[in-house]
Amino acid sequence: MTTEFDRLRDADLPSVRAEIRAGRYAGHTAGLGRGHLQANIVILPEAQALDFMRFCQRNPKPCPLVGVSDTGDPMMHTLGRDIDIRSDVPAYNIYRHGRLEGSAPDIRDLWTDDMVAFALGCSFTFEHALMQAGIPLWHVENDTTVPMFRTNIDCAPAGAFRSRMVVSMRAVDPSRLTEAERISRRYPLAHGAPIHHGAPDEIGITDITRPDWGDPMPLAEGQVPVFWACGVTPQVAIEAAAPPLCITHKPGHMLITDIPEDCETPVLTPAE
Amino acid sequence: MTTEFDRLRDADLPSVRAEIRAGRYAGHTAGLGRGHLQANIVILPEAQALDFMRFCQRNPKPCPLVGVSDTGDPMMHTLGRDIDIRSDVPAYNIYRHGRLEGSAPDIRDLWTDDMVAFALGCSFTFEHALMQAGIPLWHVENDTTVPMFRTNIDCAPAGAFRSRMVVSMRAVDPSRLTEAERISRRYPLAHGAPIHHGAPDEIGITDITRPDWGDPMPLAEGQVPVFWACGVTPQVAIEAAAPPLCITHKPGHMLITDIPEDCETPVLTPAE
């Protein structure tokens, strides 16, 4: 049986985007549009936009900003030739006053003239690079969601946006640890180098078998738990700020941009 | 004769900042506070802040954002333990409606509750790295200002902020060109890799002996002209946007931050 995901996996980027825009694909985007930068999405009223943008600037490891729309303009001009943020994400979460109200396949009916859309880099980029280097990722091989944890590390606040840093955990063989750090450091727009390894309690994680989000992951004998800053952090900050309306992507259901994953800067240039 | 600059060159960072804050030093900062990130400064009313921040996000090579104040708060909390943006830059330029009105040694009398201060990375960082690698820089050795040129490369606009990219030029021996590119690419917060080398006319520069800013520089036989995105670009965008008030550092008279020059992210952490 060929699923819709299987069919899209080998499709080119315009075809994938067309299927998502038409509402014919509402699944996760891991492995789709190969080689292109994928992004977490946060949409807020302009009244909250400057503070949220400051929060991202001050916390670039969990919140690497890769694109921002003009106020009221749903087209993400610097991220692609034809990206409409109201329809080009497979599934959206809708928050009112900081609480998840529900999900939607598009947000055409919610978009207004005072909205600003933010795109933040995600971990797919460095995960691809790790796997290409032959560093296995258990959660990918076992088709589970990476385990994520609240830490005791304070983010730099901005206005009402404040949060402890959330991290994702991957198990790495000690012989590959330096290489894993070096590879991920190359991708500052995808959380960069890990923020910690080895001693979860030092960053406030008391039980690595019980993640706050995602699925548990076994740690094989001798493997080191490695922690990267995670894109769930801004979601916690949004819950704290409790803006009247906030729309995000549904976890795992990212925006696929036109930007090459190994770009120096995430901005479309006339030559591309 | 020992000048004030000579005296400060060997001083530690708190002493340098204290001298600047007290108004006892109003000179350029090249070579001061060695090892610390220096920054271009742009101060704007909040009404223009979101658009300016979008301009920086969309044009990270000329405008690498390293810090943003809270509205009305003159302390740059993420860049240092005690940085007051009203007094800690040696000299300021004051623009009204996009036109340079004058300079001042501090701006305590101009700062208001609706102002936002932006800090942008500058070329000192990668210049230090080039010199440490033994790649000579003519303008440093000859104590002149690096030549800067308008190009035909459009920046991505944001609101009223729009500009062609301004670049700075350095002459590099062909045998060191790859190394110069590799070294500067390591510093995305200091303009990153060059945007062009070799053929000035391809980026709209018709006469490299006549820079639009700075001093002319001779090109020795066989040397390659190399062009990096330049922090004068936002100044041109500000002239275009013509906000009622804008305050910048005076060229060469930078803010010296507490952040190490080789930081992964330009944010003070509790451990530092």
The pLDDT mean for chain B works out to: 94
A117 and A249 housed in the same domain: yes
Q: Of A174, A184, A175, whose CA–CA distance to A230 is shortest?
A: A184
- Give the H or E element holding residue B225: strand B224-229
B148-188 pLDDT tens trace: 999 999 999 999 999 999 999 999 999 999 999 999 998 99
CATH number at residue A249: 3.40.1640.10
Q: Is A218 exposed, middle or buried (0-12, 13-18, 19+ CB in 10 A)?
A: exposed
Q: Is A18 exposed, middle or buried (0-12, 13-18, 19+ CB in 10 A)?
A: middle
| B11 inside domain | no
Interchain proximity A158–B58, CB inside 8 Å = no
Residue A104 · residue A23 · CB < 8 Å: no
A88 and A132 housed in the same domain: no
pLDDT score for B272 = 42
Residues of A in Cβ contact (< 8 Å) with B265: 60-61, 188, 192
Residue A65 CA to residue A265 CA, distance in Å, equals: 11
Q: Of A11, A132, A13, whose CA–CA distance to A79 is shortest?
A: A13
| B208 inside domain | yes
B229 and B155 housed in the same domain: yes
Interchain proximity A50–B54, CB inside 8 Å = no
Residue A213 · residue A148 · CB < 8 Å: yes
DSSP state of B193: S
Residue A101: Cβ within 10 Å count = 13
- Terminal CA-CA length for chain B: 37
CB of A264 within 8 Å of a chain B CB? The answer is: yes
Strands B255-260 and B36-45: antiparallel
Residue A139 · residue A217 · CB < 8 Å: yes
Residue B94 CA to residue A261 CA, distance in Å, equals: 40
Interface mutation target, options A182, A265, A268, A272, chain B, most CBs of B under 10 Å: A265
A12 and A94 housed in the same domain: yes
Residue B31: Cβ within 10 Å count = 12
pLDDT score for A272 = 42
Residue A153 · residue A203 · CB < 8 Å: yes
Interface mutation target, options B44, B46, B50, B51, chain A, most CBs of A under 10 Å: B50
Residue B247 CA to residue B20 CA, distance in Å, equals: 17
Q: Which residue of A has its CA nearest to B63?
A: A265
Residue B193 CA to residue A217 CA, distance in Å, equals: 39
When CB atoms are compared, the residue of A50, A264, A270 closest to B50 is A50
Count of all residues that appear for chain B in the document: 272
B145 and B168 housed in the same domain: yes
Q: How many domains does chain B have?
A: 2
| A155 inside domain | yes
**What is the residue whose two structure tokens read 């979008």?**
B54
B93 and B217 housed in the same domain: no
Q: Is B153 exposed, middle or buried (0-12, 13-18, 19+ CB in 10 A)?
A: buried
Q: What percent of chain B has pLDDT over 70?
A: 98
Work out the average pLDDT over B223-230.
96
Q: List Cα–Cα distances, A262 to A147, A188, A238, B5, B207, in angstroms.
A: 25, 11, 29, 43, 34
CATH number at residue B180: 3.30.2040.10
CB of A47 within 8 Å of a chain B CB? The answer is: no
pLDDT category at B270 given cuts 50, 70, 90 is: low
B102-161 pLDDT tens trace: 999 999 999 999 999 999 999 988 899 999 999 999 998 898 889 999 999 999 999 999
Cβ-Cβ contacts under 8 Å for B141 (sequence gap 6 or more): none
| B102 inside domain | yes
B229 and B149 housed in the same domain: yes
| A31 inside domain | no
Strand order in the sheet with B164-172: B148-154, B164-172, B224-229, B196-197
| A57 inside domain | yes
B8-17 pLDDT tens trace: 888 999 999 9
Residue B228 · residue B170 · CB < 8 Å: yes
**What is the residue whose two structure tokens read 């800053």?**
A229
CB of A267 within 8 Å of a chain B CB? The answer is: yes
Which residues in chain A show pLDDT less than 70? 1-2, 270-272
Residue B46 · residue B115 · CB < 8 Å: yes
Q: Which two tokens stand for residue A13?
A: 């980027």
pLDDT score for A264 = 85
Residues of B in Cβ contact (< 8 Å) with A154: 270
Radius of gyration of chain A, Cα coordinates, nearest whole angstrom = 18
B166 and B177 housed in the same domain: yes
Residue A125 CA to residue A139 CA, distance in Å, equals: 15
Q: Which two tokens stand for residue A130?
A: 């790790």
Interchain proximity A53–B58, CB inside 8 Å = no
- Give the H or E element holding residue B260: strand B255-260
Greatest C-alpha distance within chain A:
54
Q: What percent of chain B has pLDDT over 90?
A: 84
DSSP state of B202: G
Residue B136 · residue B149 · CB < 8 Å: no
A54 and A129 housed in the same domain: no
Residue-range definition of the domain harbouring residue B44: 36-122+238-260
Distance of CA B259 to the CA centre of its chain: 15
CB of B264 within 8 Å of a chain A CB? The answer is: yes
Q: Of B107, B124, B116, whose CA–CA distance to B28 is shortest?
A: B124
A138 and A213 housed in the same domain: yes
Interchain proximity B267–A58, CB inside 8 Å = yes
**φ and ψ at residue B107, rounded to 5 degrees:** -130, 30
Residue A221 CA to residue A173 CA, distance in Å, equals: 9
pLDDT category at B69 given cuts 50, 70, 90 is: very high
Q: Which residue of A has its CA nearest to B119?
A: A57
Measured in angstroms, the CA of B110 and the nearest CA of chain A are apart by 22
A205 and A152 housed in the same domain: yes
Residue B77 CA to residue B71 CA, distance in Å, equals: 12
CB of A162 within 8 Å of a chain B CB? The answer is: no
DSSP state of B53: H
CB of A195 within 8 Å of a chain B CB? The answer is: no
SS (H, E, C) chain A: CCCHHHHHHCCCHHHHHHHHHCCCCCCCCCCCCCCEEEEEEEEEEHHHHHHHHHHHHHCCCCCCEEEECCCCCCECCCCCCCCECCCCCCCEEEEECCEEEEEECCCCCCCCCCEEEEEEECCHHHHHHHHHCCCCCHHHHCCCCCCEEEEEEECCCECCECCEEEEEEEEECHHHHHHHHHHHHCCHHHCCCCCEECCHHHHCCCCCCCCCECCCCCCCCCCEEEEEECCCHHHHHHHHHCCCCEEEECCCCCEEEEEECCCCCCCCCCCC
B193-214 pLDDT tens trace: 999 999 999 999 999 999 999 9
| A270 inside domain | no
A12 and A141 housed in the same domain: no
| A66 inside domain | yes
